[in-house]
Amino acid sequence: MGTASVEESKKRPLVFAYYVTGHGFGHATRVVEVARNLILAGHDVHVVTGAPDFVFTSEIQSPRLFLRKVLLDCGAVQADALTVDRLASLEKYSETAVVPRASILATEVEWLKSVKADFVVSDVVPVACRAAADAGIPSVCITNFSWDFIYAEYVMAAGNNHRSIVWQIAEDYSLCEFLIRLPGYCPMPAFRDIIDVPLVVRRLHKSRTEVRKELGIGEDVKIVILNFGGQPAGWKLKEEYLPTGWLCLVCGASESQQLPPNFLKLAKDAYTPDLMAASDCMLGKIGYGTVSEALAYKLPFVFVRRDYFNEEPFLRNMLEYYQGGVEMIRRDLLTGHWRPYLERAITLNPCYEGGINGGEVAARILQDTAYGKNYTLDKLSGPRRLRDAIVLGYQLQRVPGRDLCIPDWYANAESELGLRTGSPTAATAENNSLTDLYPQDFEILHGDCLGLSDTLSFLKSLAGLDALVDSPTKTGKHTIRERKAAAGLFNWEEDIFVARAPGRLDVMGGIADYSGSLVLQMPIREACHVAVQKIHPSKQRLWKHALARQQDKGQGPTPVLQIVSYGSELSNRGPTFDMDLSDFLEGDEPITYEKARQYFARDPSQRWAAYVAGTVLVLMKELGIHFENSISLLVSSAVPEGKGVSSSASVEVASMSAIAASHGLNISPRELALLCQKVENHVVGAPCGVMDQMTSACGESNKLLAMVCQPAEVLGLVDIPGHIRVWGIDSGIRHSVGGADYGSVRIGAFMGREIVKSIASTLLSESLSTNGSHPDDSEECGVELLQAEASLDYLCNLSPHRYEAMYAKKLPDSIIGESFVGKYTDHRDSVTTIDKTRNYGVRAAARHPIYENFRVKAFKALLTSATSDDQLTALGELLYQCHYSYSDCGLGSDGTNRLVQLVQEMQHSKASKSGEGTLYGAKITGGGSGGTVCVIGRNSLKSSEQILEIQRRYKSATGYLPILFEGSSPGAGRFGYLKIRRRNPPKQN
């Protein structure tokens, strides 16, 4: 074909088939902009959508627009306006897109050919890419997220049977030519190439003045637009929700909904961009449409978090980076405490200056690509795709109930925004010597830093908070928002109490703790610091919404608990929490633990506060403590979450230690650990044993804490011989004792105990009836054993040989919950509940603690035996046996298995055999199902080199560089507490 004919062909109108996901209106509204620009360029656009016609026809009146009402995916199904139902989302997707997949593909291929489509565009329907490929038509996706990333977390709640959905979606996406990526994007490794475009934003039709004139609203009236896309069920808006003189424009209200006089119901087809631009701020939930248009029109956005929609953290980061967002606590939304948030919002000056013509840019790229131009040229780098893939891998290994974790090297829109994440404490410590970190700003009135660099760093970070109060505009772009919240937390003229509690490495014992085993635990170097100030309510500097809540009650100053937690940037949770301490009371008595769990469950983005605030309730209930003053509390933890090194226990122990110190409570480390276990069991609702809290509270640096968990008898400290060294290696797979697998194995163990007791009772009755009243000595001994086993309090009190001789063959492999309850009534575990429809593994779950208790005893004895290669080999073998016993219980994982295999390969390599062996054993730790592996070896330079080699090989195989846990530090009891006071306190505002 000659040049002239090529140019002639480029002028011909094109036919675009544009597929729109069934998730919300936000996708449809941005599709409108791209489609409008394609039509302006003279092309036909067939939109395949489930959205109402008016969304498109109100903006595009053209015979070149064709609407086809078909729903090919469902997006995320919402349980209510703020909560995604993960299981229902997967089931609906399966019903909509998986079961009828073959017929969908056949229908779409035929339709694409019938309309003579030149190009397929998808936002962001997976099957559209496959249909295009089958029809021989090129396709492109336009989006800020993809459904493989969103659904990756959901499959962990649903089980592996849904995992194929994620792979199928990713495979479909991989068939498109490239991705046109919008700002505020999530990791999307399925796409081969990427082109970034500006925000896609709907244009304005009317000016602010024109809109207000049509509505009859003067310029002096403050307007908030309530833009929820569906309001919480049963929610009744009240006049007092708004500040005096304000008006609220309500989107999406039902026809029957009655509104107060200061709320104005908008028509269903009202053009939202014009109304947004005429408003002073917006209240709603985060989505691409709301965030992009808020940024484009410089409209302050008061947002409430949604649960389990993983697009949100990335959009939220972008919104807050451009100083356009204020987060509202869910309970304040529902109870009407809006005023402080709205008043804060109108003081913001959103600063987004980027392009808002993404629709035009995207349309031009689509047109040129359809005409044959190559835009990509491998723009998406290999490292970039790898990072995205690792984040997706994180999602696919998450445990239900855990927040979204974004690794610290991955930041939202890093090329565009240059954001960082991470602990401010850790960032402060970089490139500083101990001399530089010496806390000159504080006078230490009690306690000793013990030379701990992390404590010195924390104090320096604490001292720097007042600079944010004095100069909030000079915080720099890397200051994370929780530091701003912390800046106003303390009264610098009052004393502050600081406690420190480390995480722990489970060397031996693990999940046998709840069955009464001996355990050996080592406190790690990483720790949580908590700073607490007890202060009279009249002197506490309350956040505006907390102050407004008190004022609304018509009371004077009353005790309030205010918490700031560093690290919220790494997961989808709020950085602050506050509550009236009276919320923990019914009359003069503390509320029940059940009501406390319900209290913290109301807002999943603040559920983390149960670990901290729960310590207050436990002190009230268990020790009868009355808190008459307010409490301000700052949490800064370097213990990584979800790695199986007791991040939750370190937070609980540090929090309770600091609160106890500030209130003059003398609680022994052992008692404090038991109280903290109650926080986790009864307030958080996680069925953990006590070894984590006990190690964090009672441990000593470079020693193993030996404890019999019946319930918590500390036997003492066991020295780690100088020639032996212990490491922890993180698998990169998140772990949680609140996960379903840990709980089911625990239930199976308790079921096993009850079955053993029942068998023993039967055997005892038969023995007594057969032998009469005069048994000989051997028979009497057997009777005594059966009597003890018939009333067995802990499985670990049953020896392995008795288990094998009397019970092993009589225990079922598994049992349905209903069958067990029908025969044995209850498993007698106060912190777990049997699901009658579930099948529980019994034999492996019961066998593990019986043998583990023996292994731990042997391990402890070997540590004090003569130094030899046989000693190290035997210690390592015990670790290996423990690891495979975990796997028999169903608590293994691919990542931890791979690490253990790498240790074995290193141990049995020719180099190790020819020389002096260095690594001897490894095992999964803690609750299992991921997390960290414990490795034991010779304390030598060569062993450290081999650990680093394992780290390198694991990264090469998985793309994930494991965290190494090396070293140890003292427990909270040994650290005690610091009582500090500013030497030259800044003036309080």
Which residues are tagged catalytic? Answer: 692
SS3 annotation, 269-337: CCCHHHHHHCCCEEEEECCHHHHHHHHHCCCCEEEECCECCCCHHHHHHHHHHCCCEEECCHHHHHHCC
Q: Which amino acid is present at 364? A: R
For residue 464, count CB atoms less than 10 angstroms from its CB and return exposed for 0-12, middle for 13-18, buried for 19 or more: middle
- Say which residues have a Cβ less than 8 Å from residue 476's Cβ, sequence separation at least 6: none
SS3 annotation, 908-970: CCHHHHHCCCCEEEEEECCCCCCCEEEEEEECCHHHHHHHHHHHHHHHHHHCCCCCEECCECC
End-to-end CA, the chain = 77
- In order, the DSSP letters of 520-559 are EEEEEEEEEEEEEEEE-TTT----HHHHHHHHHTT-----
Compute the C-alpha angle 544/546/552, nearest 5°: 100
The runs of H, that is alpha helices, within 772-816 are: 777-790, 800-802
Task: Give backbone dihedrals phi and psi of 57, rounded to 5 degrees, phi first.
Answer: -70, -25
| Strand bridging mode 194-196 / 179-181 | parallel
Tell me if residue 806 falls in helix, strand or coil: helix
Among 555, 82, 62, 612, CA closest to 312: 82
SS3 annotation, 421-489: CCCHHHHHHCCCCHHHHCCCCEEEEECCCCCCHHHHHHHHHHHCHHHHHHCHHHCCCCCCHHHHHHHCC
* Alpha carbons 981 and 442: distance in angstroms, whole number: 5
Contact 887, 897 (CB under 8 A): yes
- In order, the DSSP letters of 216-229 are T--TTSEEEEEE-S
* Alpha carbons 932 and 927: distance in angstroms, whole number: 10
* Alpha carbons 345 and 268: distance in angstroms, whole number: 26
φ/ψ region of 413 (left if φ > 0, alpha if ψ in -120 to 50, else beta) reads left
For residue 161, count CB atoms less than 10 angstroms from its CB and return exposed for 0-12, middle for 13-18, buried for 19 or more: exposed
- Say which residues have a Cβ less than 8 Å from residue 150's Cβ, sequence separation at least 6: 76, 186, 309, 310, 311
Angle at which helices 147-158 and 163-173 pack, to 10 degrees?
Answer: 170
Query: H or E stretch including 140?
Result: strand 139-143
Contact 458, 498 (CB under 8 A): yes
Contact 23, 229 (CB under 8 A): no
Token pair of 215 as six digits: 């509505």
Peptide bond into 612 cis (omega under 30): no
* Alpha carbons 187 and 450: distance in angstroms, whole number: 42
Tell me if residue 156 falls in helix, strand or coil: helix
Token pair of 461 as six digits: 């970070």
Token pair of 624 as six digits: 């009868």
Token pair of 559 as six digits: 């005790």
φ/ψ region of 429 (left if φ > 0, alpha if ψ in -120 to 50, else beta) reads alpha
Q: What is the DSSP letter of 672?
A: H
Per-state percent for the chain, helix, strand, coil, to nearest 5:
45, 20, 35
